[in-house]
Amino acid sequence: MTIPRPLRLLLITLASFIGAIVLVVLVGLYLLLQPDRFTAMLKQHAREAGLQLTLSSPASPTLFPRPALQLEGITLTASDAGPNAMPILLAANGRLVLPWRTLFDRQVVISHMQINSPRVDLDALQAWLMNLPQSATVPDEIPRIATGVRIRNGSVVQNNSEWLSDVSLDTGRLAPGQAFWVNLSAKETDGTPLQWQLSSVPSIADGALKLDAIDIHVADSSATNLHLTGHARWAGLANASLQLQGKLHLAGEGDYDSAVMLTPAAQGKPLLLHLKLLGTDNHIDLELPPLALAQWWNQLANPQGPRLSTPPGNGQVDMATLDVGKVHIEGLSVQTGDAIPAAAESSAPPATPVAPRPQ
């Protein structure tokens, strides 16, 4: 069958016209995506938290199957850190998926966020927390993430040594007044799998970010698990408070009453973490800067050999037994900071160090 020449010309013209319309629509949507608008938003949020966000190359937008921004070479550093300071976070790449309505709406909404191969440095994070200013503004509203966040193949390091590996994280929908959940899995330095589950209801009221109905579960492969519930409030960078209570179950040792409290920074005093653990033969009552406990414990669990030292901050540790790697310690009692009795501090002879007994 031969198509008449007039009809053939009409079809060609119609196809060209439709193609031109599709091209114009694609170019228009591409321009509406405005990657600079979203990267500027992310950098602004980082600046408000005392952080500097940089990318190795400008964000590249895509339109199908859904509008998205591809971020390459993500670096997050403390704003007041020197040029040679270690970044708090390094990530190979990330992806922000956006709803179609965001293209035509001035409000920035993220449907899904994915970060690949992030590396978090605990030392840099601790330094940033210790130098937080006393005042900061809380956002007017909670950022909305319609379908959550995904992190894969992450790691956490301290003193250039890996603390957690194979970190994966998934979250639910983030919206004010609605339950938000986080599931995290990782491996410790000895390969022990670790699982975290957290849920809370975020909201902003009276100039503060509030986290109500906090529920935390932590477990590892040895049947050790921790369950805490409570609430938190953040009214500025270092103006944060936290109250959690619950139980710690250790395999073969039973349950321990546990409490975690965070007190806001005050003049001449940093943000402080209060940790309490009460059991039949063990008692821990410590007050220390955030992350210092993790650093101290990481030194004890160093695979190249534990470094025994008093925990930072103030408080007391009494433990009937302590097993760290291949080292077994019995009758451990430590007093540090203000918990040291004045008489013992001024007149008592120095204690003779006792070598730990290998198992």
Q: With pLDDT > 90 as the criterion, what percentage of the chain qualifies?
A: 19
Q: Output the pLDDT for position 75.
A: 92
Condensed to tens digits (0 to 9), the pLDDT of residues 103-148 reads: 666 566 678 889 999 999 888 887 787 676 655 567 777 777 878 8
Q: What was the pLDDT predicted at 245?
A: 94
Q: Is the pLDDT of residue 344 over 50?
A: no
Residue type at position 188: E
CB atoms within 10 A of CB 120: 20
Instruction: Write out pLDDT tens, residues 279-322.
Output: 777 788 888 776 566 666 666 656 566 666 666 677 777 776 66
- Name the pLDDT band for 274 (thresholds 50, 70, 90): confident
d(CA 89, CA 78): 10
- Give the CB-side neighbour count of residue 40, counting CA atoms within 13 A: 6
Q: What is the pLDDT of residues 3-55, one digit of tens each?
A: 555 555 666 666 665 655 555 555 555 555 566 777 777 788 788 777 888 88
Model confidence pLDDT, tens digit, residues 186-245 = 998 878 898 999 999 999 888 888 999 999 999 887 778 889 999 998 877 667 889 999
Helix (H) or strand (E) holding 79: none
Cβ atoms of residues 78 and 50 within 8 Å: yes
- 316-325 contacts, C-beta under 8 A, 24 or more apart: 316/283, 316/284, 316/285, 316/286, 317/283, 317/284, 317/285, 317/286, 318/282, 318/283, 318/284, 319/281, 319/282, 319/283, 319/284, 320/281, 320/282, 321/281, 323/359, 324/300, 325/190, 325/301
Beta bridge partners, 261, equal 243, 274
CB contact at 8 A, 38 and 108: yes
Q: Is the pLDDT of residue 161 over 70?
A: yes
Q: Out of 272-281, 334-343, 346-355, give the one with best mean pLDDT.
A: 272-281
Total residue length of the chain? 359
Return the closest-CA partner of residue 141 out of 219, 217, 209.
209
Give the model's confidence band at 346: pLDDT under 50 very low, under 70 low, under 90 confident, else very high: very low
| Cα gap 312→295, rounded to integer Å | 9
